[in-house]
Amino acid sequence: MKRRILVFLLVFLIWMVEAQAELEVRFLDVGEADCTILTCDGETMIVDGGAPATSDYLYSLIRNTLKLQEVRYLVSTHPHDDHIGGIPAVLNAVPVGAVLTPVLDWESSAFYAMMQYAERQGAPVLVPSEGDQFTLGNAVVTVLHCWPDAWTTNDMCIVLRVEYGQTSFLLMGDAEYTSEYMILDSGLPVQSTVLKVGHHGSSTSTTREFLEAVQPSIAVISCGKDNVHGHPHQEVLDNLESAHAAVYRTDQLGTITARSDGESVWMTWEQAGNRAIPETETDVSEAAYIGNKRSRKYHEPDCPSVKEMNPDNAVYFESAADAAAMGYVPCGRCKP
């Protein structure tokens, strides 16, 4: 009897270890923007933070749903608002081990807030180099591209390849075809099981030559439903079909999650289809400032702009720092 119990406990412990040994890659449904959360063996990396309007949802997801205690790496692939807008909210929500960015200076309120909160935490802000490697649990992350002096902001992009066992994920950010050819010329390994398609499926990325090298089985596209850019472009969808990659889109499926046990990858999704992004819950009676979701400005409660505001656009903050972390800027009437 004792032997049976010991065998059972041993099998259970092995099962527990194997169950925990998993890479989860969550491609968030953030509309025409980008945010990916990777968790491997208890360690988390967040790549981009969506647009400023994503901030409240992302803060709540990290604190209340995922209940993260720490983010080991926070990556700003490049400083466009649809990628960096929610990053200050991450830094406001949880301690961050290191921030990776292609540039250390950029003219935007979101970038300033990112640097401010990183400094407040004491989190180092680093510009990586091509070929740099680091670990996330048992996964190995390789920087395939980082071009601070690129001619376009999209091509500044930090491109990451995450290898876990026999599976791999290639996260392209908004890198365009010039970056793709540079990556191919670098000689670094690019073949990947899952391709996070560049630039929301724009025809400026995902060339046939690049796909021939990557050979993805699965392609994920983050884009907004009925977006004005027409993403994903038909040319890219045709290229992916020719590459025999199964395509998953956040505008159709909502948040998409890929899981790997090191040997295979399986996909799940929410079928949410750009669900409404909730605001963080702040007691109105405790609010020191009132933000306007439409203008992305925050006001003192007695500001005339508050009386003129549509109540449906109001969001409440306990401090100016919280408002700034969510990508809001001060009102010029009450806070000149």
- Whether residue 282 is predicted with pLDDT greater than 60 in this model: the reply is no
pLDDT band, very low/low/confident/very high, at 1 (cuts 50, 70, 90): low
What was the pLDDT predicted at 325? 61
Return the biggest CA–CA distance within the chain.
Answer: 78
Query: Running DSSP on this structure, what letter comes out for residue 313?
Result: G
Mean pLDDT of 82-99: 95
In terms of Cα–Cα distance, which of 44, 39, 41, 140 is closest to 93? 44
Name the token pair of 334: 């009450």
Name the token pair of 258: 């890929």
At residue 314, the 3 state secondary structure works out as: strand
At residue 162, the 3 state secondary structure works out as: strand
Instruction: Identify the sign of the CA torsion 14, 20, 23, 27.
Output: positive
Higher pLDDT, 289 or 55: 55
Cα–chain-centroid distance for residue 52? 13
> Whose structure tokens read 């075809």?
177
CB atoms within 10 A of CB 64: 12
Amino acid at 110: A
- Whether residue 123 is predicted with pLDDT greater than 90 in this model: the reply is yes
Amino acid at 164: Y
What was the pLDDT predicted at 146? 98
d(CA 250, CA 256) in angstroms, rounded, equals: 7
- Whether residue 215 is predicted with pLDDT greater than 60 in this model: the reply is yes
Sheet holding 314-317, edge to edge: 314-317, 289-292, 297-299, 329-330
- Whether residue 192 is predicted with pLDDT greater than 60 in this model: the reply is yes
Distances (CA, A) of 50 to 84, 122, 130, 164: 6, 23, 24, 25
At residue 84, the 3 state secondary structure works out as: helix
What was the pLDDT predicted at 277? 43
Name the token pair of 55: 């901030």
* Average pLDDT in the chain: 87
